[in-house]
């Protein structure tokens, strides 16, 4: 409920880049660094990110990938991020990460019958580059980057739900809706109640988060797989653009958290439902 | 107040700025603010003044002096409505009120919990500070978080500022200051508890942040339904002049009309975006109506309101489609 997060911690803020810088020096392998193009955002963690996510593969910067974040971060625990890699043909995987977050990997989308588009909300611990890396069949990573200016504290703050004594009874309750788009895709918005504990909060709650959402249609026709990590905000709320086969009337979602609980949902998605207008184009 | 033994940002800043490692910190931590707000009061009536807030967001340049403050001269002493964003502001306000009225401060009313209205409290005796039970409770819950947020937004202007809780709890009714009777009206909508003050002598209605004029309304703790009801109630109170929480004091219905229009606009725009399946960033890119071009901070507050309202809409309006399998 606070306007801006109160759990700002100067030590964390200064310590993470400092440690990160040391790590970079320590692990910098010439073979990796040589292939990695310079970072337009000059992140101290860029080389480390290259090693962590690209492992020597070819990397190119792709300004045509839209990574949209708000100009004002009102709540560090709920920062909306929209990633649109439609400008890159043949995306097989879309990885979102934030260099200066304590946990950098945010999510990975594998679009099978889906558009390389995802929007969600995430926690940030400080101002950080937010990047979307799109892998194409030729093994190249196309990276879109934006700098998110934020004060921080989102990762080390306990989930709001922890204030409710009976929060565990609502875990897994899912809500969702589908809108058929003029281009034939189905825009699916899905929300699932879950604390998404990072394991980094001050009250020592261990990591507890939904790690996978499998979206299918009909008899298990795979549309997309979404792997979520700890930085995704409490009560994950995602928007996806799926190519639901025309004969199908529902999108099924199978979820699993890191405690082994599974979650099942079915979102009605027929041609009877449609949006009135195409979504506006967002850009920064 | 402190919830943990870890040092707060303020402790760290205070310790570092005085130490030999100060030069190692990023420059913005060390920007020294001018030492004075240079407050000037605008005379509204015999014995009534307003210190006009800037129609801006809280920044390190304006020191958070963005809300309107009202000073009344009464036979019991100076009566002040809201204390501003910082200790420094409160001290200047106290001195100005004493100078204008020639009397010590008898009473300080707080209209609501928001930090641009309450962090000058330190300059006044806690017994002189008066607020509703809801405001006192709200400050207990939110005060520490607001303090950290204010240090971040306003920087050095906040030095030495701590939240002081009011010791006088007030309810709806009349407070008699001798030659001036003030009616206290307790409403809600902008926050869970909004105090409105009607001065019987001048016929002025001091509306607090239930009314914004020529500046977009803020919604972090708002209930828009309650707010619209409060505006209707305010419109039913005959008054000679309306002093909004932000914006010029006027003898007109512009403040009430514009605040209502703004609330309805963000409701319609945000609800419309939600009904189309947009996410927050897509909704933020939507155009706002042309009339909002004359409203300061329109897009800024619209984007903030999206963050406040969208998650509630999602929780309340997306149909349930599943649950835990085992």
Label residue B85 left, alpha or beta by phi (over 0 means left) and psi (-120 to 50 means alpha).
alpha
Q: What would the pLDDT profile of B116-168 be if each residue is shown by its tens digit? A: 999 999 999 999 999 999 999 999 998 888 888 898 889 999 999 999 999 99
Q: Which residues, including other chains, have CB under 8 Å from residue B204's CB and lie 6 or more apart? A: B44, B45, B48, B198, B239, B240, B241, B242, B243, B249
Burial category of A124 from C-beta neighbours within 10 Å (exposed 0-12, middle 13-18, buried 19 and up): buried
Q: Which residues, including other chains, have CB under 8 Å from residue B295's CB and lie 6 or more apart? A: B214, B215, B216, B258, B262
Pairwise CB contact (< 8 Å): A253 & B322: yes
- Give contacts of B304 with chain A, Cβ < 8 Å: 72, 74
Across the range B46-66, mean pLDDT stands at 96
Pairwise CB contact (< 8 Å): A277 & B276: yes
Task: Give the B-side interface with A, CB within 8 Å.
Answer: 4, 6, 9, 12-13, 115, 142, 144-149, 152-153, 220-221, 276-282, 284-286, 300, 303-304, 307-308, 311, 314-315, 318-326
Q: What are phi and psi of B94, to 5 degrees?
A: -60, -45
Across the range B45-53, mean pLDDT stands at 98
Single pTM value for the model: 0.85
Per the model's pLDDT, the better-predicted residue between B326 and B180 turns out to be B180
Name the closest residue on chain A to residue B317, using Cα atoms.
Answer: A175
Which pLDDT value is given to residue A262?
Answer: 93
Q: Is the pLDDT of residue B29 over 50?
A: no
Strands B194-199, B181-187: pairing is antiparallel
Pairwise CB contact (< 8 Å): A1 & B319: no
Pairwise CB contact (< 8 Å): A9 & B308: no
- Give contacts of B286 with chain A, Cβ < 8 Å: 280
Which pLDDT value is given to residue A22?
Answer: 47
- Give contacts of B322 with chain A, Cβ < 8 Å: 172-174, 176, 253, 263-266
Which pLDDT value is given to residue A158?
Answer: 65
Which pLDDT value is given to residue B13?
Answer: 44
Per the model's pLDDT, the better-predicted residue between B6 and B110 turns out to be B110
Q: What would the pLDDT profile of B82-119 be if each residue is shown by its tens digit? A: 999 999 999 999 999 999 999 999 999 999 999 999 99
Cβ contact A215:A253 at 8 Å:
yes
Centroid of chain to Cα B176: 25
Average pLDDT, whole number, for chain B? 91
Closest to B225 measured CA to CA, from B260, B196, B186:
B260
pLDDT band at B35 (very low <50, low <70, confident <90, very high): confident
Q: What would the pLDDT profile of B200-239 be if each residue is shown by its tens digit? A: 999 999 999 999 999 999 999 999 999 999 999 999 999 9
Name all domains of chain B by residue range, CATH numbers in brackets.
Answer: 9-253 (3.60.15.10)
Closest to A119 measured CA to CA, from B279, B283, B116, B264:
B279
- Give contacts of A174 with chain B, Cβ < 8 Å: 320-323
Q: Is the pLDDT of residue B62 over 50?
A: yes
Q: What would the pLDDT profile of B239-254 be if each residue is shown by its tens digit? A: 999 999 999 999 999 9
Pairwise CB contact (< 8 Å): A175 & B325: no
Which pLDDT value is given to residue A5?
Answer: 36
Q: For B307, which of A78, A119, A151 is closest by C-beta distance?
A: A78
Pairwise CB contact (< 8 Å): B145 & A176: no
Pairwise CB contact (< 8 Å): A280 & B221: no
The two structure tokens encoding residue B51: 């210190």
The two structure tokens encoding residue B220: 């972090």
Q: CB count, 10 Å around CB of B239?
A: 17
Chain A nearest C-alpha distance from B201 (Å) = 37
- Give contacts of A279 with chain B, Cβ < 8 Å: 276-278, 282
Pairwise CB contact (< 8 Å): B4 & A202: yes
| Model-level ipTM above the cut of 0.90 | no
Q: Is the pLDDT of residue B326 over 70?
A: no
Closest to B288 measured CA to CA, from B266, B306, B271:
B266
Closest to B174 measured CA to CA, from B158, B156, B197:
B197
Cβ contact B191:B198 at 8 Å:
no
**pLDDT of chain A, 284 residues: tens digit per residue:** 333 333 334 334 444 444 454 444 444 444 444 579 999 999 999 999 999 999 989 999 999 999 999 988 888 899 999 999 999 999 999 999 999 999 999 999 999 999 999 999 999 988 999 999 999 999 999 999 999 987 756 666 666 666 666 777 788 899 999 998 888 899 999 999 999 999 888 778 889 999 999 999 988 889 999 999 999 999 999 999 999 988 888 999 999 999 999 999 999 987 665 544 455 566 54
Q: Which residues, including other chains, have CB under 8 Å from residue A227's CB and lie 6 or more apart? A: A107, A108, A109, A110, A211, A212
Cβ contact A59:A145 at 8 Å:
no
Pairwise CB contact (< 8 Å): A175 & B319: yes
């Amino acid at each position: 409920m606070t306007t801006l997060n109160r759990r700002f911690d100067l030590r964390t803020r200064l310590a993470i880049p400092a440690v990160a810088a040391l790590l970079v020096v320590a692990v910098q392998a010439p073979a990796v660094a040589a292939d990695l193009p310079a970072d337009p955002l000059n992140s101290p963690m860029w080389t480390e990110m290259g090693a962590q996510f690209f492992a020597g593969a070819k990397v190119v910067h792709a300004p045509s990938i839209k990574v949209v974040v708000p100009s004002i971060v009102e709540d560090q625990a709920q920062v909306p991020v929209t990633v649109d890699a439609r400008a890159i043909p043949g995306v097989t995987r879309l990885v979102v990460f934030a260099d200066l977050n304590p946990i950098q990997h945010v999510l990975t989308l594998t679009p099978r019958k889906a558009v390389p588009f995802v929007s969600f909300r995430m926690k940030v611990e400080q101002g950080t580059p937010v990047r979307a890396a799109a892998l194409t069949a030729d093994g190249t990573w196309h990276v879109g980057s934006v700098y998110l200016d934020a004060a921080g504290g989102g990762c080390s703050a306990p989930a709001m739900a922890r204030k409710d004594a009976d929060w565990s009874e609502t875990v897994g309750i899912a809500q969702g809706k589908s809108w058929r788009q003029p281009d034939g895709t189905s825009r699916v918005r899905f929300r699932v109640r879950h604390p998404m504990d990072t394991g980094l909060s001050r009250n020592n709650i261990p990591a507890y988060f939904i790690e996978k959402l499998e979206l299918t249609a009909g008899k298990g026709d795979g549309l997309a797989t979404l792997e979520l990590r700890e930085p995704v905000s409490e009560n994950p709320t995602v928007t996806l653009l799926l190519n639901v086969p025309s004969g199908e009337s529902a999108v099924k979602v199978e979820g699993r958290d890191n405690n082994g609980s599974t979650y099942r949902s079915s979102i009605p998605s027929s041609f009877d439902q449609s949006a009135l207008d195409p979504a506006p184009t967002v850009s920064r | 107040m402190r919830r943990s033994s870890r040092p707060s940002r303020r402790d760290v800043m205070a310790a570092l700025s005085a130490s030999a490692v100060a030069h190692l910190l990023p420059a913005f931590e060390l920007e020294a603010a001018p030492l004075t707000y240079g407050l000037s009061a605008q005379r509204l009536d015999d014995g009534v003044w307003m210190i006009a807030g800037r129609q801006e967001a809280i920044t390190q340049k304006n020191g958070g002096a963005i809300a309107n403050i009202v000073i009344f001269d009464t036979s019991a002493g100076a009566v002040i409505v809201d204390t501003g964003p910082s200790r420094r502001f409160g001290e200047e306000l106290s001195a100005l009120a004493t100078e204008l009225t020639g009397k010590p401060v008898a009473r300080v009313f707080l209209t609501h919990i928001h930090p641009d209205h309450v962090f000058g409290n330190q300059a006044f005796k806690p017994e002189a500070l008066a607020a509703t039970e809801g405001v006192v409770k709200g400050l207990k819950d939110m005060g520490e978080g607001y303090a950290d947020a204010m240090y971040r937004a306003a920087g050095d202007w906040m030095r030495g500022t701590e939240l002081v809780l009011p010791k006088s709890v007030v309810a709806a009714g009349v407070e008699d200051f001798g030659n001036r009777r003030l009616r206290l009206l307790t409403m809600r909508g902008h926050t869970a508890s909004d105090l409105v003050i009607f001065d019987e002598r001048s016929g002025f209605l001091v509306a607090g942040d239930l009314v914004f004029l020529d500046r977009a309304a803020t919604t972090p703790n708002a209930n828009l339904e309650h707010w619209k009801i409060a505006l209707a109630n305010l419109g039913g109170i005959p008054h000679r002049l309306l002093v909004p929480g932000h914006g010029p004091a006027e003898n007109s219905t512009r403040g009430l009309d514009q605040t209502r229009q703004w609330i309805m606009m963000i409701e319609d725009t945000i609800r419309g975006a939600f009904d189309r399946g947009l996410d927050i960033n897509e909704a933020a890119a939507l155009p706002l109506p042309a009339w909002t071009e004359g409203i300061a901070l329109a897009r800024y507050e619209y984007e903030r309101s999206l963050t406040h309202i969208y998650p509630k809409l999602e929780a309340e309006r997306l149909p349930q489609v599943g649950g835990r399998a085992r």
